[in-house]
Amino acid sequence: MELLYKPDFDDAARRWQAFWAGELLDRPPAVMTVRREGAPERPAKRQLAGQDGDFQAALDRFEQWAETMYFAGEAVPNFLSGLGPDQFAAFMGGHLEFSEEHDTSWVLPSVDDWTDIMPLQIDPNNEHWQHVLGLINVAGQRAPGKFLVATIDMHSNLDALGALRGYQQFCLDMIDQPEVIDRVVAQVIDLYEVVYNGVHEAAEMQRVRWTASWGGLAFPGKGEMMQCDFSALMSPKMADRWLMPALEAECEFLDYSFYHLDGPDALVHLPALLSLPRLHGIQWVPGGRLEVEQPQHTWVDIFQRIQAAGKAVEVWGDAEAIKWVHPQLKPNLVCYLISGIESPAQADQMLDWLADNS
């Protein structure tokens, strides 16, 4: 498949396919983007691109940026947008608040009693759902032969429920009315396929058979970076009852799945995550101050533990950080997000180094 902004996409595709099969060609996937020599500087991609309803202008800005960029290695140009991290909750009726300054949004807690909104559903005429489908449809029309359309930032399962109820009250619900939570979790699980397929079909992703997600990942089928940031507030017992069944269902639906494990308080769930048979890999994120004190690429013990279970890891850092960690990892079970690259030539040199040392 030819992409205007990624002429060597077929080479990248082969490495991504090998990665998802747990195999190695000459080196692991490495994602780097850097401005082309002499190209003008364009504004970077925005999470809320198209929020104003001018979808064509949002795609114009994206393409103006993409044409100035060198997508090195397995970096694939993809249009990733939507209405922010709480959009799944908004699709179920939550009220979105926006911050253009910080390029994000959030849902105001609005559920006083779960029985008032059960069964959970997505109204086909929901304004936020219609907005996202319209934006993704325009992107899908513009994309063929040029770029991929990414899936949206889902924040499904318990993240969506916590946003609707308020996270503190949701924690209390798990203690005070666990049988009700059994019901709402079962219902939100069923909506994952509805949302994913709705976006997938709106963009006509099936035409190219490739999808992409945040985190730099590309998939030769239906794929997603799954997550549940709320898990940091859950005990392993609670997670086993409510979160793991949700993630297992998402993995069963997807062809390829990665999980965003966010923060040290969520590490207690690593054993359960590693037991999910269809989960392909984990992106560990130390988060906040801990990321400064102990950068992500230095958590070798966590990476090795994940790889020992047959799962892949995603590691990021600058070129020197990647050169330090790479010899300590299984090259067939890692992909890299490499920052600090200053020129296309430097990116190519890093690819050569990985090929020579894998």
Please indicate, yes or no, if residue 324 is contained in any of the structural domains: no
Has residue 18 got a pLDDT over 80? yes
**Domain assignment of residue 50, yes or no:** yes
Query: Residue 292 — very low, low, confident or very high, per pLDDT cuts 50/70/90?
Result: confident
3-state class of 240 per DSSP? helix
Position 339 in a domain = no
Q: Kindly report whether the global pTM for this prediction surpasses the value 0.75.
A: yes
Examine residue 344 and state whether it is found in any structural domain, yes or no: no
Asked whether the predicted pLDDT for residue 47 surpasses 70, the reply is no
Q: In this predicted model, what pLDDT tens digit does every residue of 98-136 receive, in sequence order?
A: 887 777 888 999 999 999 999 999 999 999 999 999 999
Q: Please state, in angstroms and rounded to a whole number, the distance separating the CA atoms of residues 46 and 82.
A: 10
The pLDDT value recorded for residue 99 is 81
294 versus 72: which is more confidently predicted? 72
CB 29 within 8 A of CB 16: yes
Q: Is 80 exceeded by the pLDDT of residue 48?
A: no
Instruction: Tell whether 107 is covered by a domain.
Output: yes
Neighbours of 233 (CB within 10 A): 16
What's the domain count of the chain?
1
Range of the domain at 185: 36-279
The token pair that represents 340 in the structure block = 């600090």
Is 179's pLDDT higher than 90?
yes
The rounded mean pLDDT for the chain is: 95
Q: Is residue 249 in a domain?
A: yes
Domain-located, residue 103: yes
Can you give the CATH number for the domain in which 99 is found? 3.20.20.210
> Does any domain span residue 272?
yes
Tokens of 334: 């890692």
Query: Does residue 288 surpass a pLDDT of 80?
Result: no
